[in-house]
Chain A
Amino acid sequence: MSSVRPDLIEKVTGRAEYITDLTVPDMLHGFVVRSPAVHARIASIDTSAARSMDGVVDVLIGEDVASFGCWGVVLKDRPIIAIDRVRYVGEPVAIVIAETIEIAENAAERVDVGYEELPRAATIQKAMADGAPLIHEHHENLQDFYFKGGAKPTQGSNIFHTYRNNVGDVDAAEAAAAYVHEDHFTFPAISHFAMEPHAVIADFKGDSLTVWAGAQTPTAVQKVLSRLFGLQLAKVRVIVPFVGGGFGGKASVKIEPLVAGASWKVQRPVRVAQSISDSMLTCRRLGAEVTIRTAVDAKGRILAKSAKLLLDGGAYSDTGSAVATKSANRIIGPYAVPNLRLEASAIYTNTVPGAAFRSIGGPQAVWAKESHMDNVAAAIGMDPAEFRLKNLAARGERTRPDLRALDMDMSELMGRVTQSFASESQASNRRSRGMAVAATDPANTPIANAIVRLKIDGSILVSVSSIEVGQGAHATMARIAAQTLKQPFSAVSTLRTDTAVAPYDWGTGASRSTVVVGLSVENAALDAADQILDMVVDVWELPKESLSLVEGGVSTGSEVLTFHQIFHRTLGVDSGEVVGRGAITPRSKKGALAESPLFWETSAGLAEIVVDEDTGEIHVPRYASAADVGRVIDRVAAEGQDEGAAAMGFGHALYEQLEFEDGQPVNATPIDYTIPRISDVPPVFDTILVENGDGPGPGGAKGMGEGAILPVAPAIANALFSAYGIRITDLPMTPEKVWRALQKRK
């Protein structure tokens, strides 16, 4: 079945509608006034000058909505808008609501806010120091609210979550080891930089609320808004048109409560369309400090690994606790290590809130662990690839007792990237190579519902809560329904995401849609098929076993009954449809989906680099990326996911860092912050997708799209290490850092 993704046609012609292309009748525009202070008490807010301007309808400030209290998805720590205190530069303190954006923006300059500075804690060290100012006085955990489980905060401190997992006896193993090696790495805050900044339209009408948002998890937005404003879930409707990039930055809940608050105040639709600079002050990847230690025996077998990760969660927790937990899981890698001591904490700081970002906790952990692997190999005089191969967990082996056994062979991926470079057997003397691998456990909550409706003319409607953010989820769902019902892809339409019509689903993220939502679509299509076959059994009095679906109808063996004939004769009128329902729960497939992770997201990367020794600039002329994806459903889309992830990895490796100076953002604008451009990606790039058909999803698919970001930075750092003996321990690997390291070595 070959066919074009309908969303691509809409996008390439400019017809695809994103939030800012929508207009709701009577809509007003909101402009957000943001805190210039790092940590301060709001002493006064005077909105009178702004209010008196022509075209200004109202100004929302904290005290208007203080009675609604706070919200959160793991910890309840966030007000709708700052009430009496700001905790980071960029925190919303007022929204001017006006007839046009221009008026709102001009009036925003006349909102007068008085701040009294408070002691600040803008870095992990400062936030953890004795006597550090508390960014939140107490911590309220929301158990099982968004993810299963919750946060484990340390009351009276800035630590909002700590996760520990110990296996075996690390101390005994280290005492018996031939060699123990410890390293320390740091990882910066990184901006999501989706090309479409956050934009939301909210329309509060009495006891109902409609929100148009580029939300990756519409049902989480619905739930938070329902609780916050005391509305029935059924009265909160979240509509998600095309989304211009998310990468986690539009997951959980972001500016929806803020815009809903503005609409609540004026009881009219309000739109807030942020700039990219605003979005850079809305959320970012968590920075990290990582200490990692490995003990090996005389033959190079890893006996024990311990890791301590401190994650900079920013001023509000969002899903930072989950990021910390995952970072501890993801630092194990695809290795068989009998003794583990893992600890990860998420810490409040007076900076932009941390949030989920493509492979949560993954890049932080893999940067440290794969750089460290090459250091250990060098220290014991072993080739790094050999050291990895010696310590890989085999397919079917567990890397930790509480995690599902590995469902892939990392040696296969390592072999494939190496082969990809085989045409040039050795790197020339100007070029050097480095490798890194990753195995991560996606948090792909096995909860999803789907509806598949087969209509009398054979056309099919699929409705799911998955959003279309460019990954092709809607086309994938249509394809699964088409295959299950044996109808052409062109007969199937996937409805735009709208919680008023789509059934509950956890959300779009953690590479889960193809597998979890895909299975629910498959079940719904099977249910629809069952119903149509039952009509034939009933009306034509034929045994069900003799019937099969064919394009346009049902074959009885001797003839083909069109859907038209079946509905008409069964219902007596020339109309009708069957509604198939499919659900996935942790109990589905006899509980087989409940064990975590549902599948492993794995990748290997091999980088070839050239260093300009005069400037320290690193060029990557060649890169190979391999991932085990189970089964490819749409090759072009699947390759695109990994290429996009790897390119983001180049950004993380070489340029990207959202910088703060004592809490003040230094480069939070698209002019000052660099993401990769077309000339920055390696001219020779090999995207390898390994298919063994062994995933839990439809046709043996696994989820994908997050793995390829992981090996890039450590692979480049390892290439640098192998060629020059210099080890960069903090990202990004800017020319200045590399140059300094080269100088120091000389």
Chain B
Amino acid sequence: MTNLHPVSFSLNGQPVEIEIPAHTLLIDLIRDRFGLKGTKRSCDMEVCGACTMLLDGDPISSCTTLAVDVDGKEITTIEGVTPPNGLSRIQNAFVLHGGLQCGFCTPGFIMAVTALLKANPHPTDEEIRHYLHGNLCRCTGYIKIFEAVKSLAAEQVSEDAALPVARQRNFRLETS
């Protein structure tokens, strides 16, 4: 039988404790043991950023992080940045600007942008491109992702308040 190791950490603000084999990857712990499936696995090789979580506020690839290494730390996932009702302002910007299509890369982008704006609320164009270099998207061509982040970089906000879904009605769609 595999040896189990105790780990305790904060998961989206809640203290958790669990015993796991030493080789358990963070993504599997979060998806399979805690049932939080918003984080996506794509390349599984730390190339694409789809599995991005925040470790003490910094983005990491959960597909190559050992779960035992997060002992005593804070882990934030897409579920942790989604308000109970409505969307975060980052999520809202992605929807408004069309910064997603199939959505498979999206939780990873949302996490990366969350970390970016926390560290640097008004990044320049170059800083945005540089920071998101590790997140791959095969659908959008990045143009609308970039526009979404740029719109956030230009905003003056003090609080990361949840926006009611009604706010998205401003979204302009042309219909015939």
Contact = CB atoms under 8 A, between A and B. Distances in A.
Q: Which of A14, A21, A701 has the most CB of B within 10 A?
A: A14
A576 interface: no
Contact of B136 (A4, A637, A677): A677
Interface string A176-220: 000000000000000001111100000000000000000000000
Nearest to B126: A679
Interface string A71-104: 0000000000000000000000000000000000
A2 B125 CA distance: 30
B176 A699 contact: yes
Contacts of A646: 141
B57 interface: no
B76 interface: no
Nearest to A683: B125
A398 to B, nearest CB: 28
Contacts of B47: 670-671
A647 B103 CA distance: 17
A632 interface: yes
Contacts of B143: 643, 647, 681, 685, 687
Most buried by B among A16, A195, A699, A700: A195
Interface in B86-127: 87, 91, 94-95, 97-98, 100-107, 110, 125
A195 B142 contact: no
Given A247-B138, A479-B175, A675-B138, A11 B169 contact: no
A180 to B, nearest CB: 39
Contacts of A13: 38, 78, 82, 87, 91
A636 B97 contact: yes
Contact of A643 (B44, B133, B140): B140
Contact of B100 (A11, A194, A632, A700): A11
A438 interface: no
Contact of A675 (B41, B136, B173): B136
Interface string B25-58: 0000000000001111111110110100000000
Interface in B128-154: 128-130, 132-133, 135-146
B141 A643 contact: yes
A5 B140 CA distance: 16
A7 B98 CA distance: 12
B102 A243 contact: yes
A71 B45 CA distance: 34
Interface in A661-690: 669-671, 675-679, 681, 683, 685, 687
A9 B100 CA distance: 10
A634 B40 contact: no
Contacts of A670: 42-43, 45, 47-48
A639 B143 CA distance: 10
A18 interface: yes
A679 B137 CA distance: 12
A634 B98 CA distance: 10
Contacts of A15: 38, 82
Contact of B42 (A197, A472, A632): A197
Contact of B144 (A4, A636, A671): A636
Nearest to B144: A640
Interface residues of A, number: 71
A196 B144 contact: no
What's the dominant secondary structure at chain B's contact region? Answer: loop
Contacts, number: 201
B110 A470 contact: no
A185 B41 CA distance: 38
Nearest to B78: A14
A426 interface: no
Nearest to A476: B175
A471 B144 contact: no
A644 B139 contact: yes
A483 B173 CA distance: 14
A469 interface: yes
Given A3-B173, A244-B103, A17 B45 contact: no
B30 to A, nearest CB: 11
Contacts of B173: 1-3, 634-636
B18 interface: no
Contacts of B104: 18, 194-196, 244-245
A471 B125 CA distance: 27
B37 to A, nearest CB: 4
Interface string A1-31: 1111101111111111110110000000000
B15 to A, nearest CB: 22
Contact of A8 (B82, B95, B136): B95
Residue of A10, A675, A677, A681 ringed by the most chain B CB atoms within 10 A: A677
Contact of B37 (A11, A14, A243, A643): A14
A631 interface: yes
B141 A3 contact: no
A419 to B, nearest CB: 19
A680 to B, nearest CB: 8
B168 interface: yes
A567 interface: no
B155 interface: no
Contacts of A10: 103
A193 B100 CA distance: 16
Most buried by A among B140, B165, B173: B173
Interface string A310-352: 0000000000000000000000000000000000000000000
A435 interface: no
Contacts of A639: 98, 144
A701 B137 CA distance: 27
Nearest to A194: B138
Interface string A598-632: 00000000000000000000000000000000011
Contacts of A113: none
A230 B143 CA distance: 48
Contact of B176 (A243, A244, A471, A633): A633
A18 B39 CA distance: 11
Given A479-B175, A678-B146, A12 B48 contact: no
Given A2-B169, A636-B144, A678 B135 contact: yes
Contacts of A570: none
Contacts of B38: 13-15
A12 B100 contact: yes
A469 B101 CA distance: 7
Nearest to A468: B102
A18 B40 CA distance: 9
22 contacts: A1-B173, A4-B165, A9-B87, A12-B94, A12-B103, A14-B79, A14-B106, A14-B110, A15-B82, A16-B103, A195-B104, A196-B40, A242-B102, A631-B176, A634-B175, A637-B98, A644-B139, A648-B138, A670-B42, A671-B47, A679-B133, A701-B176
8 A-B pairs with the lowest CB-CB distances in the bound complex, closest first: A14-B38, A11-B103, A699-B176, A470-B101, A244-B104, A647-B141, A470-B102, A636-B98
Interface of B: 37-45, 47-48, 50, 77-79, 82, 87, 91, 94-95, 97-98, 100-107, 110, 125, 128-130, 132-133, 135-146, 165, 168-169, 171-176
Given A10-B103, A687-B143, 15 more contacts: A4-B95, A8-B95, A12-B103, A13-B78, A13-B91, A244-B40, A245-B101, A245-B139, A246-B102, A275-B43, A276-B43, A644-B101, A647-B141, A648-B141, A699-B175
